[in-house]
Structure 1
Amino acid sequence: MENTKTFPQKKLPSKAQRHKLFGSVMPVPRSKPVDKVHMADLQNTKKDFLFDLDAVGITKVKHPITIYSSIAPTVQTSIGEFTFSSSLSHSNKGTNMSRFNEQLAKYHRQGFSTDLTTLKTFTKELAERLDQQDASLRVDYTWFYERNAPDTQLAGLNHADVSISVNYDKQQGYDIRLSLSVSITTLCPCSKEISEYSAHNQRGNVTMDVKIIEDFDETTSDWKEILLEAAESNASARLHPILKRTDEKMVTEQAYENPRFVEDMVRLVAADLYEVSEIRQFKVTCQNEESIHMHDAVASVTYDKDNE
């Protein structure tokens, strides 16, 4: 029979004794009110607190969202990261933070989507819930869109980073700002010009920040697709999730036929955005991860049609 080792069994104190060992103490006698009506409400204290605040609220709020898209998949579920805020008068000590999440929970029960109509209504109701003249919402999320290979038509999903900011003011109405950031291919015009053969290329990232009109109609056009097309159609070539050999030949030849500096990219994208009447202001940035340099190349352009 094999020898088996035996170990002494440790006798542990009870769970309550263990908690006491690690610092837990008995509750003290309760003397403060337990019903809301008698509790102190510090946030609603009215005095002169020296300064008006531009914004006060909550940030890094992760929450499930529904995304509608004109490009397949047309209905997507994702996680949005939210920031909610409002201004605060110097006569108010603070805001009621719970009301931000109460508003979010209400919309979650209805199925919270990121269409602009829903976000505008949310922000207006948030201002009313907070008893403030204004409120702001920002949500960031990843949007997926189907992309077919140019020859084989094999489909996969690409993605872009999206941000929506909605600011509501009781007197001035809505200020809506949108952002989309997407990766592209750029081929260096200088390399193509000076080399006996070939040319180096790189992955670029185009970010478009735009201000749109208050009554932008999402039932007739998808702003995400508008910005995506502005970036990708002006690139040396689009990126693809799936490429077979015949596809790769087409993509690399297209890139060679359409060389782009970062300067070229921002100007071409800006021209497309300028032609969209619903876009009133824009900033376009392109940053290339250079393939033969240690540095990145970057360019940007800002334009305001309302100042023309």
Structure 2
Amino acid sequence: MNQQLPDVARYQVSNIHTPLEWVGMSGIDILLNLSEPVPLAPIHASVDAQVNLPDVTVKGIHMSRIYRMLDTLSQRHSVTPEDLGVLLGQMVDSHHDCGTDSARMVLEFKILARRPALSSPRLAGWKAYPVKVEALLQQGNLRLNTSVQVEYSSTCPCSAALARQLIARNFREHFTEVNPTVDGVSDWLEQHATYATPHSQRSIASVQVALDHAASDFGLMPLIDCVEQALTTPVQTAVKRADEQAFALLNGQNLMYVEDAARRVQKALADGYRGFDVKIRHLESLHSHDAVASVSVA
């Protein structure tokens, strides 16, 4: 039946003889079972898939071929990094008549993880982590990267020091006697220890690491856990007062500038990853602008 239908892309020649770097589709919806150390639920991903078009006479690529190849991933029991490389190779091979020698794919999705409360037993909630997986096959060379975003709380060390100074000054003004009683000091602290409070804010760590294309899994949750453990104050899900108090204690014991956060994550990644890129953003509550820091290791 297809022989009776016009095929403009195949039989017409482009009037403008210019090669194109990338041609394809973006925002393709697909359901995937990604290979992970601990199995995940099926993931709804949005995928960009493209090939290059170096033949200046070719009017259009074969987009339906790319879509059908991509759809085969949703039928796999477990998709590995190697599967992405194989698919990119198939995309290139299917476009030999276009002179294609490169292909790329970007998958964007969120991982849902069950996270327990800090103190309350049997209390937990779901937390979403944005993820991006990028695969590039360029003239036979395959490169794979994965990126995750982790939200956490950051309390400013300078603001904390300024707040402590004000509290100490207020304390001295209140207690004029030489040796105040323990009970008196304790009562005063319960009422006035928040005479001044440091500013803290929700913050975001964006981490990209290089993947081994022969790896058996993507290692997404281990990467997320590594970043959260380095920062120590990940945002919470379900909380009661005891959990909120525990979170306040974590923040108070882990004061950090944006520079501190970047260095913590860099140190945590240094031993386990051969290449990474770290971008830290503190969504300032003091300023209308953000504080940022970044570091890359090839």
TM superposition score normalised by structure 1:
0.76
- Residue 160 in 1 paired to residue 129 in 2? yes
- Counterpart contact for 1:204–1:288, Cα < 8 Å: yes
In the alignment, what sits opposite 2:293?
Answer: 299
In the alignment, what sits opposite 2:224?
Answer: 228
Deviations 1:67-102 (A, max 9, x none): 45445xx33123211100111113442311111112
Deviation at 1:55, TM superposition (A): 1.2
In the alignment, what sits opposite 1:3?
Answer: none
CA RMSD of the aligned region, Å?
2.5
Deviations 1:222-281 (A, max 9, x none): 5212321232122251212111122211111011001111111112111222211xx333
Secondary structure class of the residue paired with 2:287: coil
- Gaps of at least 5 residues in structure 1 are 1-33
What pairs with 1:125-164 in structure 2 (closer than 5 Å)?
125-131=90-96, 132-153=100-121, 154-164=123-133
TM superposition score normalised by structure 2:
0.79
Whole-Å separation in 2 of the counterparts to 1:112 and 1:54: 33
What pairs with 1:89-128 in structure 2 (closer than 5 Å)?
89-93=54-58, 94-108=60-74, 110-111=75-76, 114-128=79-93
Structure with the larger RCO, 1 or 2 (CA within 8 Å, 6+ apart): 2
Deviations 1:162-196 (A, max 9, x none): 00011124532x20011101211111111112212
- Counterpart contact for 2:80–2:215, Cα < 8 Å: no
- Residue 270 in 1 paired to residue 256 in 2? no
Deviation at 1:42, TM superposition (A): 2.9
Whole-Å separation in 1 of the counterparts to 2:15 and 2:269: 46
What is the identity, as a one-letter code, of the residue corresponding to 1:255?
N
Deviation at 1:64, TM superposition (A): 2.2
* Aligned residue pair count: 262
* Distance change in 2, residues 1:288/1:169 (3 Å): same
In the alignment, what sits opposite 1:17?
Answer: none
More helix by share: 2
Identity %: 21
- Counterpart contact for 1:205–1:288, Cα < 8 Å: yes
In the alignment, what sits opposite 2:186?
Answer: none
- Residue 283 in 1 paired to residue 283 in 2? no
- Counterpart contact for 1:199–1:256, Cα < 8 Å: no
Secondary structure class of the residue paired with 1:59: strand
What is the identity, as a one-letter code, of the residue corresponding to 1:61?
I
* Distance change in 2, residues 1:99/1:190 (3 Å): same
